[in-house]
Amino acid sequence: MCGIVGIYLKSKKFENSLGGMLSDMLINMGSRGPDSAGFAVYKEDEDENFKYSLCLNGTDYEKFKKEITNKITISNIEKNSDHVIMKSKDQPSDVIKILNKNFNEISIVGYGKSIEIFKQVGEPKDVVKKFNLKSFSGTHGIGHTRMATESAITTDGSHPYSTGEDECLVHNGSLSNHNNLRRKLKKAGINFNSENDTEVAAGYISSNLSNKKSLNNTLKDGLKDLDGFYTFITGTRKGFAVLRDEIACKPAVIAETEDYVAIASEFQAMAHLPNVNDAKIFEPEPGVVYSWEN
């Protein structure tokens, strides 16, 4: 099972309600994935900082804040439940090195100039409440509700997965060649934190994008290289893209209006969205990449 959702705003009209729209979509998709939930919201940082989404995993926040402030130049740091959004203008390669070296127990959930990621085990309705997703604003966002199959119910096993700057991926389905692909990508220098299949697909996408391939071509190549069942939504700083495998067992519905594009595993997750009954509603065709970017 698993539920996936995404919303991309074509106009500024709903920017302040993005969190609320995404929150209701995730709560509805709780029926497809009660084990864990997560979401990525994109909102450009006004001061061009890099934003780091960190999961504390039990680390004392005040202690961490004090120690990290001595090591890097922090513009802002804010705690949201067991996650922290830390802003800094320092180079990501340095910051990630410092975090990995000194704060082993803290996981870097994602980073970039726009993305903020939150994910945790528990029922989607509790997860969105815990991080107060309703209060978020932004330009686009994607989310996932997980019914765990091939790896454990942990924060690291939850979606979205981010393995590159401002990139993330949610997935409904399962991949069968992830172990082989993980080995290849590890050799190419990509790091993985879990045994999860989706993390490998995220690594595959990031690796291709960093080789200057376009998102469209990366996903098209994915049809050959990723073996299994999937509907993917992949988020980037500019927008998101959707791809279903050619068998297309895993569902997806898209609703497009003048103001937004919404995607979900089932229509019911979008039934509350404004003017959805007047939207152009269609199923993404198998093996075809759909993308929306600003």
Partner 1 sequence: MELDLKKINLREVNDKLQNLDRKQNQRDFTITNPEGNHAICAGLTEEMNVTIKGHVGYYCAGMNQKAQITIDGNAGTGVAENMMSGKVHVKGNASQSAGATAHGGLLIIDGDASSRCGISMKGVDIVVKGSVGHMSGFMSQSGNLIVCGDAGEALGDSLYETNIYIKGNVKSLGADCVEKKMDKKHVKKLNKFLKEANIKNLKAENFKRYGSARKLYNFKVDNIGNY
Site for partner 1 in 236-265 (CB under 8 A): 248, 251, 253
Residues in the chain: 294
Q: Which is nearer to partner 1, 259 or 266 (CB)?
A: 266
Give the one residue of 236, 269, 291, 292 binding partner 1; rule: CB under 8 A: 269
Q: Which is nearer to partner 1, 192 or 267 (CB)?
A: 267
Annotated catalytic residue within 2, 55, 168, 249: 2
Beta-bridge partner residues of 230:
173
Which residues lie closer than 8 Å to 105 by C-beta, 6 or more apart? 57, 58, 59
- Sort 120 into a burial class: Cβ within 10 Å, 0-12 / 13-18 / 19+: buried
CB of 116 to partner 1, least distance (A): 29
The question of whether 2 is a catalytic residue gets the answer yes
Q: Does residue 239 contact residue 289 with C-beta atoms inside 8 Å?
A: no
CB of 20 to partner 1, least distance (A): 17
Q: Which is nearer to partner 1, 172 or 218 (CB)?
A: 172
Q: Which is nearer to partner 1, 216 or 268 (CB)?
A: 268
Q: Does residue 155 contact residue 54 with C-beta atoms inside 8 Å?
A: no
Decide if residue 278 touches partner 1 (CB under 8 A).
no
Which residues lie closer than 8 Å to 159 by C-beta, 6 or more apart? 2, 4, 38, 119, 144, 146, 169, 170, 171, 198
- Sort 188 into a burial class: Cβ within 10 Å, 0-12 / 13-18 / 19+: exposed
CB of 1 to partner 1, least distance (A): 12
Decide if residue 271 touches partner 1 (CB under 8 A).
yes
Annotated catalytic residues are 2
Binding site for partner 1 (CB under 8 A): 248, 251, 253, 266-272, 277, 281-283, 285-286
